[in-house]
Amino acid sequence: MGTTPTEVLAFPNIRAIVRDNGTAEVVVAGNSRVVPAGDSVQDLRNNALALVVGEAQTLQRPVRVQIEDPEGHGELIVHPDNKIESVSYEPRPARRRAEAPETTPETVAPTVIDTVPVAAPEPVAVPAQPTTAATVDRQPWPPNPVENEPSTETPEPAQPSAAAEEPQRTATAPEAPLTRRSLKETSFLVSAPVLEPATQGWRGTLTRLGYRMAPSTEELSEREDIRTVSQHWPGPRTIAVVNRKGGANKTPTVVMLSAILARYSGAATVAWDNNESQGTLGWRTEKGSHDRSVLDLIDASTELLSPSTNAAEIAKFVHHQTADKFDVLRSDENEEGDHEVTAEEVDIAHQVLTRYYRLVVMDSGNTARAANWRRMIDHTNQLVVPVTAIEDRAEAARLTLQTLESRGGHDAELARNAVVIVSESTDAKRSMTGDALKRAKDEAQRIADGFEPFVRAVVRIPYDPAMVNGPIRYEALQPATQRAWLAAAAAVAAGF
């Protein structure tokens, strides 16, 4: 950019600090300036850079700024004309999981998804412009125009070979003309996918300022999870969320998986409370304008399965979630009722729902011997086992998987392909501090490690107060919790 070392180092004492508690400041020569508040950490980054640009314009020279935020730290060079160079970036070290044990061809290690936020990696470095001072690595933005200019060298003409000078004496068969078949095998539309620029972190800030930055590894991972949960699969898919112990986070897991799959895929999604007694799915979700439950849907199954019935008729029996875009089929909540859903009635309800919905996410009771529980497993494509960081919940989850594996066939395959979701959402954690909080996290890690060798994927979910009581809403969760549940939903969808 034509910047000399004297210009860059003339005013080095600028720091842009963004904290994860929603505050930020810019320090100029020891004087702190409060950054205007924003709705997100990204807004704070933008506002901080705006103050630095203003300082460069005041001085009428480039300035070097040290940036610090929850993702890492580095240096930028800001010019008075709004041009910004990325000098270096050092991500904060992420907590790594222990290495998985070696596997044999008979035992394949499962996928383990760590939901601890990962800092953006160091940007790819290119050679710095030559200077008399020490050189630094810089981002290749904007591109060097010299590298894009065509070569001016004139290639030497090739010397004709002796064989070429001799007249051709033997007749050769003419080349075969292009046929319709070869044209069919040719396409002008084959091209590499376009990588969209970064939208998150400092890279996203620089992109919005006009510098197209490549996304970080963490952002690419999030995009891949979104792509996975956005698929449409041929035919309906049924997810069963099971754990024979109450309080294992089954209902919140059903709500979050339904919300994410419905939001990103746009597929018609229903959460079905298949408890043998009064379930809590209806308590943790939005109620519609009626009181109908699964028993009413079963009674109306003949009409709902009729070819002449309009698809909108299903709204009479389910409760739509206006924000998260999925429907809920509640269990019977009649306190005086004694009807238990039979295996045949599970078949009927499943037949109705798979006519109107692509995705069915089933909440379950705590009795693996119940007829409706076992018939639910017969219809399941993907098993999900939620567990909180408490020993008895983990032991109940292990016994649930052991029971299914012992049955063999379809049940055993579901157990081997299961996704275990270890959640830290407990009431007790709200009062935890210091060593107690660390012990709770270590316990969650120990439980996750214990399930790894036996299932396809293990996902950890951080504690979030919005998951503890009352209706559950995706938008009410903290960003880290939303990201963790997206990873969990992607692990589930990968099993379809």
Query: What tens digit of pLDDT does each residue of 291-309 get?
Result: 999 999 999 999 999 999 9
**CB 454 within 8 Å of CB 86:** no
Question: Cα(336)–Cα(282) distance, rounded to whole angstroms?
Answer: 18
CA atoms within 13 A on the CB side of 311: 5
Tell me the pLDDT band of 29, cut-offs 50, 70 and 90: confident
Q: Edge-to-edge strand order for the sheet containing 419-423?
A: 111-113, 457-461, 419-423, 382-388, 237-241, 359-364, 269-274, 327-329, 319-320
Q: What is the pTM of this model?
A: 0.69
CB 419 within 8 Å of CB 456: yes
Is residue 144 predicted with pLDDT exceeding 60?
no
Quote the crossing angle between the two packed helices 343-356 and 371-379, to the nearest 10°.
40
Question: Across residues 68-84, what is the average pLDDT?
Answer: 86
Going by C-alpha positions, the residue among 377, 384, 376, 448 that lies closest to residue 406 is: 377
> How far apart, in Å, are the Cα atoms of 36 and each of 20, 46, 64, 66, 428?
15, 10, 21, 19, 36
pLDDT bin (cut points 50, 70, 90) of residue 22 is: confident
Query: What gap in Å lies between CA 374 and CA 353, rounded to an integer?
Result: 18
- Between CA 330 and CA 319 the distance in angstroms is 8
Angle at CA of residue 170, ends 167 and 171, nearest 5°:
110
Residues 6+ apart with CB under 8 A from 95: 114, 116
Rounded Cα gap, residues 413 and 405, in angstroms: 7
| pLDDT at 317 exceeding the cut of 80 | yes
Round to whole Å and give the CA distance between 377 and 233. Answer: 20
CA-wise closest residue to 264 among 493, 481, 92: 493
Secondary structure letter of residue 210 according to DSSP: T
* Residue 41 to residue 200: CA distance in whole angstroms: 10
Band (162; pLDDT cuts 50, 70, 90): very low
> Is the confidence at residue 361, as pLDDT, over 60?
yes
d(CA 298, CA 352): 8
Question: Which DSSP symbol is given to 212?
Answer: -
Over residues 11-26, the mean pLDDT reads 83
Tokens 């160091």 map to which residue? 122
Q: How far is CA 353 from CA 72, 150, 199, 238, in A?
A: 48, 62, 38, 10
Q: How much is the mean pLDDT over the chain?
A: 81
